[in-house]
Structure 1
Amino acid sequence: MVHPYAVAGFLVAVLPLIATPGASLALLVQHVTDSGRGQALPVILGTVTGLYIHATLAIAGLSALVMHSSLAFTAVKLIGAVYLIGLGIWSWRSAPPNAAPVPQWQRLPKHAESVYAQALLANVLNPKAAAIYLTLVPQFIAPRQSFGGQILILATAHALLIALWLAVWTLLVRCASRTLQRPRFKRTAARTTAVVLIALGIRSAAT
Protein backbone atom coordinates (compact mmCIF):
# COMPACT_ATOMS: atom_id res chain seq x y z
CA MET A 1 0.00 0.00 0.00
CA VAL A 2 1.38 3.39 -1.00
CA HIS A 3 1.51 5.95 1.78
CA PRO A 4 -0.90 8.87 1.17
CA TYR A 5 2.02 11.29 1.44
CA ALA A 6 3.81 9.40 -1.29
CA VAL A 7 0.75 9.60 -3.56
CA ALA A 8 0.43 13.34 -2.87
CA GLY A 9 4.14 13.85 -3.57
CA PHE A 10 3.87 11.93 -6.83
CA LEU A 11 0.91 14.01 -7.97
CA VAL A 12 2.74 17.24 -7.14
CA ALA A 13 5.75 16.00 -9.13
CA VAL A 14 3.71 14.88 -12.14
CA LEU A 15 1.37 17.91 -12.26
CA PRO A 16 3.80 20.14 -14.22
CA LEU A 17 4.13 17.37 -16.80
CA ILE A 18 0.35 17.10 -17.09
CA ALA A 19 -0.05 20.87 -17.32
CA THR A 20 2.44 21.06 -20.18
CA PRO A 21 0.42 21.11 -23.44
CA GLY A 22 0.75 17.83 -25.26
CA ALA A 23 -0.92 15.56 -27.78
CA SER A 24 -3.85 14.63 -25.50
CA LEU A 25 -4.81 18.26 -24.88
CA ALA A 26 -4.39 19.12 -28.54
CA LEU A 27 -6.68 16.25 -29.57
CA LEU A 28 -9.21 17.20 -26.89
CA VAL A 29 -9.44 20.82 -28.04
CA GLN A 30 -9.76 19.82 -31.69
CA HIS A 31 -12.45 17.17 -31.23
CA VAL A 32 -14.50 19.13 -28.68
CA THR A 33 -14.33 22.22 -30.87
CA ASP A 34 -15.36 20.31 -33.95
CA SER A 35 -17.91 17.83 -32.61
CA GLY A 36 -18.93 18.84 -29.09
CA ARG A 37 -18.06 17.88 -25.54
CA GLY A 38 -19.16 14.28 -26.10
CA GLN A 39 -15.82 13.74 -27.87
CA ALA A 40 -13.93 14.54 -24.66
CA LEU A 41 -14.72 11.16 -23.09
CA PRO A 42 -12.97 8.97 -25.70
CA VAL A 43 -9.93 11.28 -25.58
CA ILE A 44 -9.78 10.98 -21.79
CA LEU A 45 -10.34 7.21 -21.85
CA GLY A 46 -7.68 6.72 -24.53
CA THR A 47 -5.17 8.77 -22.55
CA VAL A 48 -5.94 6.93 -19.30
CA THR A 49 -5.68 3.55 -21.02
CA GLY A 50 -2.26 4.56 -22.32
CA LEU A 51 -1.13 5.37 -18.78
CA TYR A 52 -2.17 1.94 -17.54
CA ILE A 53 -0.35 0.31 -20.44
CA HIS A 54 2.84 2.16 -19.48
CA ALA A 55 2.32 1.15 -15.85
CA THR A 56 1.82 -2.49 -16.85
CA LEU A 57 4.92 -2.45 -19.04
CA ALA A 58 6.91 -0.93 -16.20
CA ILE A 59 5.76 -3.71 -13.89
CA ALA A 60 6.68 -6.32 -16.47
CA GLY A 61 10.05 -4.72 -17.06
CA LEU A 62 9.46 -4.22 -20.79
CA SER A 63 9.70 -0.45 -20.56
CA ALA A 64 13.00 -0.83 -18.71
CA LEU A 65 14.29 -2.92 -21.60
CA VAL A 66 13.30 -0.22 -24.08
CA MET A 67 14.81 2.56 -21.97
CA HIS A 68 18.11 0.65 -21.54
CA SER A 69 18.38 -0.34 -25.20
CA SER A 70 19.27 2.70 -27.28
CA LEU A 71 18.11 0.98 -30.46
CA ALA A 72 14.72 -0.03 -29.01
CA PHE A 73 14.23 3.38 -27.42
CA THR A 74 15.06 5.15 -30.68
CA ALA A 75 12.66 2.89 -32.59
CA VAL A 76 9.78 3.65 -30.20
CA LYS A 77 10.60 7.35 -30.27
CA LEU A 78 10.66 7.51 -34.06
CA ILE A 79 7.42 5.53 -34.39
CA GLY A 80 5.74 7.94 -32.00
CA ALA A 81 7.18 10.94 -33.83
CA VAL A 82 5.94 9.67 -37.20
CA TYR A 83 2.49 9.04 -35.73
CA LEU A 84 2.23 12.54 -34.24
CA ILE A 85 3.45 14.21 -37.43
CA GLY A 86 1.03 12.14 -39.51
CA LEU A 87 -1.82 12.98 -37.16
CA GLY A 88 -0.87 16.65 -37.39
CA ILE A 89 -0.89 16.57 -41.19
CA TRP A 90 -4.29 14.88 -41.11
CA SER A 91 -5.61 17.56 -38.71
CA TRP A 92 -4.33 20.33 -40.99
CA ARG A 93 -5.88 18.80 -44.10
CA SER A 94 -9.20 18.17 -42.33
CA ALA A 95 -9.53 21.79 -41.15
CA PRO A 96 -12.92 23.20 -42.24
CA PRO A 97 -12.98 26.06 -44.74
CA ASN A 98 -13.66 29.63 -43.68
CA ALA A 99 -16.92 29.63 -45.59
CA ALA A 100 -20.37 29.06 -44.13
CA PRO A 101 -20.77 26.13 -41.71
CA VAL A 102 -21.36 22.74 -43.24
CA PRO A 103 -24.93 21.55 -42.58
CA GLN A 104 -25.17 18.88 -39.89
CA TRP A 105 -26.59 16.31 -42.30
CA GLN A 106 -23.56 16.70 -44.57
CA ARG A 107 -20.99 16.10 -41.83
CA LEU A 108 -19.29 12.75 -41.50
CA PRO A 109 -19.79 11.38 -37.98
CA LYS A 110 -16.72 10.93 -35.82
CA HIS A 111 -16.84 7.56 -34.14
CA ALA A 112 -15.77 7.43 -30.50
CA GLU A 113 -13.61 4.38 -31.28
CA SER A 114 -11.54 6.41 -33.74
CA VAL A 115 -11.03 9.29 -31.30
CA TYR A 116 -10.18 6.80 -28.53
CA ALA A 117 -7.60 5.08 -30.73
CA GLN A 118 -5.97 8.40 -31.61
CA ALA A 119 -5.60 9.38 -27.94
CA LEU A 120 -4.43 5.89 -26.98
CA LEU A 121 -1.72 5.72 -29.62
CA ALA A 122 -0.60 9.28 -28.91
CA ASN A 123 0.06 8.25 -25.31
CA VAL A 124 1.40 4.73 -25.82
CA LEU A 125 3.88 5.83 -28.50
CA ASN A 126 5.26 8.58 -26.26
CA PRO A 127 8.48 7.24 -24.67
CA LYS A 128 8.50 10.14 -22.21
CA ALA A 129 5.28 8.83 -20.71
CA ALA A 130 7.03 5.50 -20.17
CA ALA A 131 9.95 7.34 -18.59
CA ILE A 132 7.62 8.67 -15.88
CA TYR A 133 7.07 5.12 -14.66
CA LEU A 134 10.75 4.24 -14.85
CA THR A 135 12.31 7.34 -13.31
CA LEU A 136 9.66 9.21 -11.32
CA VAL A 137 7.45 6.44 -9.93
CA PRO A 138 10.29 4.50 -8.22
CA GLN A 139 10.95 7.56 -6.06
CA PHE A 140 7.55 7.13 -4.37
CA ILE A 141 7.29 3.39 -3.73
CA ALA A 142 8.44 1.33 -0.76
CA PRO A 143 10.90 -1.43 -1.79
CA ARG A 144 9.61 -3.90 0.81
CA GLN A 145 6.00 -3.80 -0.34
CA SER A 146 4.14 -5.04 -3.43
CA PHE A 147 5.93 -3.39 -6.33
CA GLY A 148 3.16 -3.93 -8.87
CA GLY A 149 0.39 -2.90 -6.53
CA GLN A 150 2.10 0.36 -5.65
CA ILE A 151 2.67 1.22 -9.31
CA LEU A 152 -1.00 0.58 -10.11
CA ILE A 153 -2.08 2.83 -7.23
CA LEU A 154 0.16 5.64 -8.47
CA ALA A 155 -1.04 5.04 -12.04
CA THR A 156 -4.65 5.34 -10.87
CA ALA A 157 -3.86 8.61 -9.09
CA HIS A 158 -2.10 9.81 -12.24
CA ALA A 159 -5.07 8.78 -14.39
CA LEU A 160 -7.57 10.58 -12.14
CA LEU A 161 -5.50 13.76 -12.15
CA ILE A 162 -5.07 13.86 -15.92
CA ALA A 163 -8.76 13.01 -16.42
CA LEU A 164 -9.68 15.93 -14.15
CA TRP A 165 -7.29 18.22 -16.02
CA LEU A 166 -8.79 17.30 -19.40
CA ALA A 167 -12.33 17.60 -18.02
CA VAL A 168 -11.58 21.15 -16.84
CA TRP A 169 -10.27 21.99 -20.29
CA THR A 170 -13.44 20.53 -21.81
CA LEU A 171 -15.54 22.92 -19.73
CA LEU A 172 -13.32 25.86 -20.64
CA VAL A 173 -13.56 25.06 -24.32
CA ARG A 174 -17.33 24.62 -24.21
CA CYS A 175 -17.81 27.89 -22.30
CA ALA A 176 -16.96 29.64 -25.54
CA SER A 177 -19.55 27.64 -27.47
CA ARG A 178 -20.69 30.51 -29.70
CA THR A 179 -17.16 31.30 -30.74
CA LEU A 180 -16.45 27.64 -31.27
CA GLN A 181 -19.22 27.34 -33.84
CA ARG A 182 -17.65 29.90 -36.13
CA PRO A 183 -15.98 28.27 -39.17
CA ARG A 184 -12.98 30.60 -38.89
CA PHE A 185 -12.38 29.57 -35.27
CA LYS A 186 -12.78 25.87 -36.09
CA ARG A 187 -10.26 26.21 -38.89
CA THR A 188 -7.82 28.05 -36.64
CA ALA A 189 -8.25 25.48 -33.84
CA ALA A 190 -7.73 22.55 -36.22
CA ARG A 191 -4.59 24.08 -37.72
CA THR A 192 -3.24 25.07 -34.30
CA THR A 193 -3.74 21.48 -33.20
CA ALA A 194 -1.95 20.32 -36.35
CA VAL A 195 1.04 22.59 -35.66
CA VAL A 196 1.22 21.41 -32.03
CA LEU A 197 1.14 17.73 -33.03
CA ILE A 198 3.75 18.18 -35.76
CA ALA A 199 5.98 20.17 -33.37
CA LEU A 200 5.65 17.45 -30.73
CA GLY A 201 6.56 14.82 -33.31
CA ILE A 202 9.60 16.75 -34.50
CA ARG A 203 10.69 17.38 -30.91
CA SER A 204 10.29 13.70 -30.05
CA ALA A 205 12.40 12.67 -33.04
CA ALA A 206 15.10 15.26 -32.38
CA THR A 207 15.60 14.63 -28.65
Structure 2
Amino acid sequence: MMHGYAAAGFLLAILPVIATPGASMTLLVQHVTTGGRRRAVPVLLGTATGLYAHATLAVAGLSTLITHSAQAFTVVKLAGAAYLVGLGGWTWHTTTRPRPPASADRPGRARSVYVQAVLANVLNPKAASIYLTLVPQFVVPGSSVAGQILGLATVHAALMAVWLLTWTALLHRGARLVREARFRRVIGRVSAVVLVTLGLRAATA
Protein backbone atom coordinates (compact mmCIF):
# COMPACT_ATOMS: atom_id res chain seq x y z
CA MET A 1 0.00 0.00 0.00
CA MET A 2 1.31 3.46 -0.91
CA HIS A 3 1.99 5.85 1.96
CA GLY A 4 0.50 9.35 1.83
CA TYR A 5 3.81 11.17 2.32
CA ALA A 6 5.39 9.12 -0.45
CA ALA A 7 2.58 10.08 -2.84
CA ALA A 8 2.90 13.76 -1.89
CA GLY A 9 6.67 13.70 -2.34
CA PHE A 10 6.38 11.95 -5.69
CA LEU A 11 3.75 14.46 -6.81
CA LEU A 12 6.08 17.37 -6.05
CA ALA A 13 9.02 15.63 -7.72
CA ILE A 14 7.05 14.83 -10.87
CA LEU A 15 5.54 18.30 -11.35
CA PRO A 16 8.53 19.81 -13.19
CA VAL A 17 8.68 16.78 -15.48
CA ILE A 18 4.98 17.06 -16.35
CA ALA A 19 5.25 20.82 -16.90
CA THR A 20 8.05 20.27 -19.42
CA PRO A 21 6.51 20.08 -22.93
CA GLY A 22 6.75 16.58 -24.31
CA ALA A 23 5.15 14.19 -26.77
CA SER A 24 1.78 14.03 -24.98
CA MET A 25 1.43 17.81 -24.88
CA THR A 26 2.43 18.06 -28.52
CA LEU A 27 -0.14 15.45 -29.53
CA LEU A 28 -2.81 17.17 -27.46
CA VAL A 29 -2.25 20.57 -29.07
CA GLN A 30 -2.13 19.05 -32.53
CA HIS A 31 -5.31 17.00 -32.22
CA VAL A 32 -7.41 19.39 -30.14
CA THR A 33 -6.75 22.24 -32.56
CA THR A 34 -7.80 20.09 -35.51
CA GLY A 35 -10.57 17.95 -34.01
CA GLY A 36 -11.92 19.77 -30.97
CA ARG A 37 -12.01 18.96 -27.25
CA ARG A 38 -13.15 15.36 -27.78
CA ARG A 39 -9.71 14.57 -29.23
CA ALA A 40 -8.24 15.16 -25.78
CA VAL A 41 -9.87 11.95 -24.51
CA PRO A 42 -7.82 9.44 -26.56
CA VAL A 43 -4.65 11.43 -25.83
CA LEU A 44 -5.36 11.25 -22.08
CA LEU A 45 -6.24 7.55 -22.22
CA GLY A 46 -3.21 6.73 -24.35
CA THR A 47 -0.92 8.67 -22.03
CA ALA A 48 -2.30 6.87 -18.96
CA THR A 49 -1.94 3.49 -20.70
CA GLY A 50 1.68 4.24 -21.50
CA LEU A 51 2.43 5.24 -17.90
CA TYR A 52 0.84 2.06 -16.54
CA ALA A 53 2.84 0.07 -19.07
CA HIS A 54 6.06 1.51 -17.63
CA ALA A 55 4.81 0.85 -14.10
CA THR A 56 4.01 -2.76 -15.01
CA LEU A 57 7.48 -3.23 -16.49
CA ALA A 58 8.99 -1.78 -13.33
CA VAL A 59 6.97 -4.20 -11.20
CA ALA A 60 8.00 -7.13 -13.37
CA GLY A 61 11.65 -6.17 -13.13
CA LEU A 62 12.08 -5.77 -16.88
CA SER A 63 13.05 -2.13 -16.51
CA THR A 64 15.89 -3.19 -14.22
CA LEU A 65 17.05 -5.66 -16.86
CA ILE A 66 17.13 -2.89 -19.46
CA THR A 67 19.07 -0.67 -17.06
CA HIS A 68 21.78 -3.30 -16.69
CA SER A 69 21.94 -4.05 -20.42
CA ALA A 70 23.39 -1.18 -22.41
CA GLN A 71 22.37 -2.81 -25.67
CA ALA A 72 18.76 -3.36 -24.60
CA PHE A 73 18.44 0.22 -23.35
CA THR A 74 19.95 1.54 -26.58
CA VAL A 75 17.41 -0.41 -28.62
CA VAL A 76 14.52 1.01 -26.57
CA LYS A 77 15.92 4.53 -26.78
CA LEU A 78 16.44 4.40 -30.54
CA ALA A 79 13.01 2.84 -31.12
CA GLY A 80 11.39 5.68 -29.20
CA ALA A 81 13.46 8.27 -31.01
CA ALA A 82 12.60 6.80 -34.41
CA TYR A 83 8.90 6.77 -33.56
CA LEU A 84 8.90 10.42 -32.49
CA VAL A 85 10.80 11.50 -35.61
CA GLY A 86 8.44 9.47 -37.80
CA LEU A 87 5.40 10.90 -36.05
CA GLY A 88 6.82 14.38 -36.55
CA GLY A 89 7.27 13.73 -40.26
CA TRP A 90 3.73 12.42 -40.55
CA THR A 91 2.40 15.43 -38.64
CA TRP A 92 4.18 17.84 -41.00
CA HIS A 93 2.77 15.96 -43.98
CA THR A 94 -0.80 16.17 -42.67
CA THR A 95 -0.59 19.97 -42.46
CA THR A 96 -0.49 20.10 -46.25
CA ARG A 97 -3.74 18.14 -46.60
CA PRO A 98 -7.24 19.58 -46.23
CA ARG A 99 -9.08 18.85 -43.00
CA PRO A 100 -11.38 15.82 -43.34
CA PRO A 101 -15.14 16.37 -43.10
CA ALA A 102 -16.86 15.78 -39.75
CA SER A 103 -18.24 12.42 -40.92
CA ALA A 104 -14.68 11.13 -41.29
CA ASP A 105 -13.70 12.28 -37.80
CA ARG A 106 -15.09 9.23 -36.00
CA PRO A 107 -14.03 6.20 -33.87
CA GLY A 108 -11.28 5.10 -36.27
CA ARG A 109 -9.62 8.48 -35.89
CA ALA A 110 -9.94 8.32 -32.09
CA ARG A 111 -8.30 4.89 -32.04
CA SER A 112 -5.45 6.26 -34.15
CA VAL A 113 -4.89 9.14 -31.72
CA TYR A 114 -4.99 6.70 -28.78
CA VAL A 115 -2.38 4.45 -30.37
CA GLN A 116 -0.16 7.44 -31.10
CA ALA A 117 -0.35 8.56 -27.46
CA VAL A 118 0.36 5.04 -26.15
CA LEU A 119 3.41 4.59 -28.35
CA ALA A 120 4.67 8.11 -27.66
CA ASN A 121 4.79 7.21 -23.95
CA VAL A 122 5.82 3.55 -24.10
CA LEU A 123 8.74 4.35 -26.40
CA ASN A 124 9.71 7.52 -24.52
CA PRO A 125 13.04 7.12 -22.64
CA LYS A 126 12.13 10.05 -20.38
CA ALA A 127 9.00 8.26 -19.17
CA ALA A 128 10.97 5.05 -18.72
CA SER A 129 13.65 6.85 -16.71
CA ILE A 130 11.01 8.09 -14.24
CA TYR A 131 10.12 4.51 -13.34
CA LEU A 132 13.75 3.42 -13.37
CA THR A 133 15.19 6.16 -11.17
CA LEU A 134 12.55 8.39 -9.55
CA VAL A 135 9.83 5.93 -8.54
CA PRO A 136 12.16 3.65 -6.51
CA GLN A 137 13.00 6.65 -4.29
CA PHE A 138 9.39 6.66 -3.03
CA VAL A 139 8.92 2.93 -2.53
CA VAL A 140 8.78 2.16 1.19
CA PRO A 141 10.29 -1.18 2.33
CA GLY A 142 7.95 -3.56 4.07
CA SER A 143 4.91 -2.86 1.91
CA SER A 144 3.75 -4.31 -1.39
CA VAL A 145 6.15 -3.06 -4.06
CA ALA A 146 3.62 -3.69 -6.83
CA GLY A 147 0.90 -1.81 -4.99
CA GLN A 148 3.18 1.16 -4.32
CA ILE A 149 4.47 1.42 -7.89
CA LEU A 150 0.98 1.17 -9.38
CA GLY A 151 -0.22 3.73 -6.83
CA LEU A 152 2.52 6.15 -7.87
CA ALA A 153 1.62 5.52 -11.52
CA THR A 154 -1.96 6.48 -10.67
CA VAL A 155 -0.74 9.73 -9.09
CA HIS A 156 1.37 10.38 -12.20
CA ALA A 157 -1.53 9.65 -14.58
CA ALA A 158 -3.97 11.78 -12.58
CA LEU A 159 -1.64 14.77 -12.47
CA MET A 160 -0.89 14.38 -16.15
CA ALA A 161 -4.63 14.30 -16.90
CA VAL A 162 -5.20 17.52 -14.93
CA TRP A 163 -2.36 19.22 -16.80
CA LEU A 164 -3.59 18.13 -20.24
CA LEU A 165 -7.23 18.98 -19.44
CA THR A 166 -6.16 22.45 -18.33
CA TRP A 167 -4.48 22.99 -21.68
CA THR A 168 -7.52 21.56 -23.45
CA ALA A 169 -9.70 24.19 -21.74
CA LEU A 170 -7.27 26.95 -22.72
CA LEU A 171 -7.27 25.77 -26.33
CA HIS A 172 -11.07 25.63 -26.32
CA ARG A 173 -11.27 29.23 -25.11
CA GLY A 174 -9.40 30.22 -28.23
CA ALA A 175 -11.80 28.22 -30.42
CA ARG A 176 -12.29 31.00 -32.98
CA LEU A 177 -8.56 31.24 -33.57
CA VAL A 178 -8.23 27.44 -33.58
CA ARG A 179 -10.80 27.16 -36.39
CA GLU A 180 -8.63 29.20 -38.73
CA ALA A 181 -6.86 26.97 -41.25
CA ARG A 182 -3.69 29.06 -41.10
CA PHE A 183 -3.48 28.72 -37.31
CA ARG A 184 -4.00 24.93 -37.49
CA ARG A 185 -1.31 24.68 -40.14
CA VAL A 186 1.16 26.64 -38.01
CA ILE A 187 0.35 24.57 -34.91
CA GLY A 188 0.72 21.37 -36.91
CA ARG A 189 4.12 22.36 -38.20
CA VAL A 190 5.32 23.55 -34.80
CA SER A 191 4.13 20.21 -33.35
CA ALA A 192 6.02 18.36 -36.08
CA VAL A 193 9.24 20.23 -35.31
CA VAL A 194 8.83 19.59 -31.57
CA LEU A 195 8.28 15.86 -32.12
CA VAL A 196 11.32 15.56 -34.39
CA THR A 197 13.40 17.55 -31.91
CA LEU A 198 12.26 15.30 -29.03
CA GLY A 199 13.15 12.25 -31.13
CA LEU A 200 16.62 13.54 -32.02
CA ARG A 201 17.23 14.56 -28.43
CA ALA A 202 16.21 11.11 -27.20
CA ALA A 203 18.52 9.45 -29.73
CA THR A 204 21.54 11.49 -28.70
CA ALA A 205 20.91 11.62 -24.94
- Please give the TM-score of this superposition, normalised by the length of structure 2: 0.95
Task: Give the superposed CA RMSD.
Answer: 1.6
Equivalent residue letter for 2:16: P
Gaps of 5+ in 2: none
Residue 191 of structure 1, aligned match among 181, 185, 189: 189
- Conserved? CA contact 2:84–2:199, under 8 Å: yes
Aligned to 1:87: 87
Q: Which amino acid is 1:70 matched to?
A: A
2:200 aligns with one of 195, 199, 202: 202
List runs of 5+ in structure 1 lacking aligned partners: none
Q: Distance in 2 between matches of 1:153 and 1:108?
A: 35
Residue by residue, what CA displacement relative to the aligned partner does 1:3-62 show, whole Å, maximum 9, x if unpaired? 211101100000100000000000000000001110000000000000000000000000
Query: What is the TM-score when the length of structure 1 is the normalising length?
Result: 0.94
| Alignment partners' CA distance in 1, 2:140 and 2:112 | 39
Q: How does 1:25-174 map to 2 (within 5 A)?
A: 25-96=25-96, 104=101, 111-174=109-172
Q: Does 1:16 align with 2:10?
A: no
Q: How many residues align?
A: 204
TM-superposed deviation, 1:185: 0.1
CA distance in 2, matches of 1:81, 1:120: 14
Residue 107 of structure 1 deviates from its aligned partner by 5.8
Runs of 4+ in 1 over 6 A off after TM superposition: none
Helix, strand or coil at the partner of 1:59: helix
Distance verdict in 2 for CA 1:13–1:181, change over 3 Å = same
Check whether the contact 2:35–2:105 (CA below 8 A) recurs between aligned residues: no
Deviation digits for residues 62-96 of structure 1, max 9, x if unmatched?
A: 01111211100000010111100000000001004
Deviations 1:78-130 (CA, angstroms, capped at 9, x unpaired): 01111000000000010046xxx758368665611100000000000012211
What is the percentage of aligned positions where both structures have the same residue? 60
